[in-house]
Structure 1
Amino acid sequence: MSPRAGQAGHPARTLAFVESPVQLLNVLEWAHLHGLPDHPPSRPATGAPAGAGPNGTASASPPAGPAPALPEAGPVLPAQAGPVSACVSAPPAQTRGSTVGAAARGAVAGGAVAGGAEFTVVVLAPTDPMTRGQLRRMADLARDEGYRVRWEEARGGTTAPFHTIGGLAGLLRRAGRIVMGDPFSRYVQLLLTITRARDLVVVDDGTATMEFVAQLARGERLVRWHRKGGRPGARDLLFAPVSSSARRRLTPSGGRRVEVFSSMPVTETPEGVTVTANDFAWTRARFGPPRITDGADMVGTSLVETGVVDGERYLAAVRDLARAHGVTRYFAHRRENTGKLHRLAVETGLEIVRPDLPLELIARRGPIGRTVLSFPSTVVHTLPLALAGTGVRVAVCDIDPAWLTATASPRAQGFLSGVTGTARDVHRLTAVAPA
């Protein structure tokens, strides 16, 4: 979908709503694809984002000053066999073509889309300290790129939602285009009931985008995959009318246009929805290429924190993978519990790294291991794109059904297998072997 003027030739105002660092990154990727902004960034591509250390990482909570440097990987540990489930190796991906051509790129000014239309990114700030820290780094980076960023303490107390929604109501009513990172968010769904925008864009929020598109295509209620199959709670029932309204708003009809901007594989495309490929062109143009080390790195997951995977099984799997592949560093997910990470460090000897930017940016800047191991997650699809042409290999380990908790959604195993199975250019292994 190319940038459009509003009705009667008036420029369309665009509002983007984000609640996580990855969502903001993908808003920047979407804006870059549409030619925003047309002036050069304030720093060279190899420079660190505002507030970041030389390697763009931070320790457990983002400090006010410069973040400490990311230590280089140590020597590869001796390979040891370990019982883990089947793994997948993903060779470096080639950059995918986009469905939007040069015609979509128009002249813009800082913070404005083609034709002078206003473009504002609204951060609906979460309460989690690590997520807030990464979002602040990303907000600084977005401002440096020339975008307007409005930070909303949307969850700062019982009256915060009323103040936030009231303060945004005017902007919502005037907006001609809404860009959102999480269509499952109750906050975003509530905001959709206010706007009259005819253009709606959903940018990636990780693997959840796959489930959103499939649910929209099947006309199902919008519910996150790890909660699907459970009985709706009282809050779900109370919010059901708003969720149903949001689903109708996100269904193209009556001149309303819907775009999904994603690096995820989309197998069920709802009628009338435009799917645009996110190939991380902005990330590759802005950062790197990275320095590649001989070691291996591992990407953490929050599947334990979301109640999908048993903590003891996860710890054992990480330990076995680290031994088999000579892993020295573990890049923690922003939602991983500090106690769990401490155990991982003590029992596996891994260096735990708390990135203060999305991993795609951290990896693109480097240093990064020649092999990056991951469980089924967004990075299975995004890292090969961000690291295209670098020679870095991404190896993906499936979740063994025995690792799932008794309370895990019946949908969990199939969804996680789909995340791995749809990763591009992968080779399945029947056993873990040294990278």
Structure 2
Amino acid sequence: MTSPQGPAPGPPAGPAAPTLAFVESPVQLLNVLEWAYRTAARDCGAPAPGAEPPALFAGVPRQPERRDITPLAGDLLVVVLAPHDPMTRGQLRRMAELARDQGHRVRWEEARGGPGAPLSTVGSLAGPLRGARRVVVGDPFSRYVQLLLTLTRARELVVVDDGTATLEFVAQLTRGERLVRWHRRSALGARGLLFAPVAASARRKLTPNNRRSVEVFTSMPVEPPPGVTVTANDFAWTRATYGPPRLTRGTDLVGTSLVETGVVDPGRYLDAVAALARTHGATRYFAHRRESADKLRRIAAAVGLEIVRPELPLELVARRGPIGRTVLSFPSTVVHTLPLALAGTGVSVAVCDIDPTWLTEHASPRAEGFLAAVTGTARDVRRLSRIPVPAVRVAEGTP
């Protein structure tokens, strides 16, 4: 197998496509595949096999379904704007293989490969962008994506889930605010000030008008601004392709990158993991792709959990199995997506709130409210009481 450090293998991308999709993470690429599956079925006038259990989306606001969108017709080009992180690159390579297996073309761009890479990448994509009738993006907060959006003339823009960030994106779009990730403080640095006109232009592009439609394809409960179409992502492709999984008798715990993003104190997080494992009998820890190797070593040594580093997004790993009958998580994307991907399998998903005392002094003022909203809006999950971590304390010096 080619190293995750290298580009994804495959044939050249070929001629320009009427639908371009830009992704920077494995989850974004998974959700592009889900969107393509749903859109192909809709364009053919047929329901997608494995349609969602209606109860999971009860009460979620919907715009009337559009019928004037460009037919997909298999003419989709997925452009991977490759990141630096080795784990992310490895998962993206695997997802790129799955996309090619579905008949989609994939173009791997070393968009961060050196000082001249951004200019080269944008220049090479300018032509395809101007010719695309529809553009799909996975991360509207990405400066790379925002820059590319300024070049497009597409009449249809689609935003697919990049996890819980979709909640903040829709809220900021509704309020007419500039796009800022929830875990970052709002003050603009020097680079942010220089980039502000591009970001403002991208936000205008993501606002529908009489020349351009905007669709949000999401598994999150969102109430979009007027004119934005919401399409439910119920993971129909995942459920139609994989599973049902074999269930183990154990309990699995899902990791989070809240420590790596500076939101949660490392010691508090380790204590909470230890308390959850002890209370609920967890035996495996599914690591987030951004979790540091040092933190995972400490979890394995101090808590005794088996560390699993998935090669694919957790929704696919869980659907393929084996997976525990109970899956524990902190507030994260999976409390919204796993109940959909695992619908009908008998797996129970439980979520443990983040106690405000776990937050670092550097955490954004919005962090507490955002994390509470992630948990509070999750459907078909079991809420766990907050963990009294001071009574557990994992030693800071644990190797």
TM over 0.5: yes
Which one of the candidate residues 105, 111, 116 is aligned to 1:154? 111
Identical aligned pairs, as a percentage?
A: 73
Q: Distance in 2 between matches of 1:191 and 1:162?
A: 11
Report the Cα offset of residue 24 of structure 1.
0.2
Tell me the equivalent position of 2:319: 364
Q: Distance in 1 between matches of 2:17 and 2:95?
A: 25
Tell me the equivalent position of 1:5: none
Tell me the equivalent position of 1:243: 199
Q: Distance in 2 between matches of 1:176 and 1:138?
A: 24
Tell me the equivalent position of 2:128: 171
Question: Which one-letter code corresponds to 2:168 in the other structure?
Answer: E
Structure-2 change in CA distance of 1:251 and 1:359 (3 Å): same
Structure-2 change in CA distance of 1:157 and 1:318 (3 Å): same
Q: Distance in 2 between matches of 1:95 and 1:105?
A: 26
Superposed CA RMSD:
2.5
Q: Does 2:15 align with 1:35?
A: no
Tell me the equivalent position of 1:13: 18
Tell me the equivalent position of 2:298: 343
Q: Distance in 2 between matches of 1:432 and 1:312?
A: 14
TM-score (normalizing by structure 2): 0.86
User: Residues 12-411 of structure 1 correspond to what in structure 2 (within 5 A)?
Assistant: 13-35=18-40, 96=57, 113-114=72-73, 118-228=75-185, 230-267=186-223, 269-411=224-366
Report the Cα offset of residue 94 of structure 1.
5.0
Question: Which one-letter code corresponds to 1:178 in the other structure?
Answer: V
Q: Which structure's relative contact order is higher, taking Cα pairs within 8 Å and 6+ residues apart?
A: 1
Report the Cα offset of residue 35 of structure 1.
1.4
Report the Cα offset of residue 241 of structure 1.
0.4
Report the Cα offset of residue 232 of structure 1.
1.2
Report the Cα offset of residue 102 of structure 1.
11
Moved more, 27-36 or 154-163: 27-36
Tell me the equivalent position of 2:46: none
Tell me the equivalent position of 2:3: none
Report the Cα offset of residue 96 of structure 1.
4.4
Question: Which one-letter code corresponds to 2:263 in the other structure?
Answer: V
Structure-2 change in CA distance of 1:130 and 1:199 (3 Å): same
TM-score (normalizing by structure 1): 0.79
Runs of at least 5 residues in structure 2 that lack an aligned partner in the other structure: 1-15, 44-52, 389-399
Listed one character per residue, the Cα deviations across residues 315-349 of structure 1 (whole Å, up to 9, x for unaligned) are 00000000000000000000000000000000000
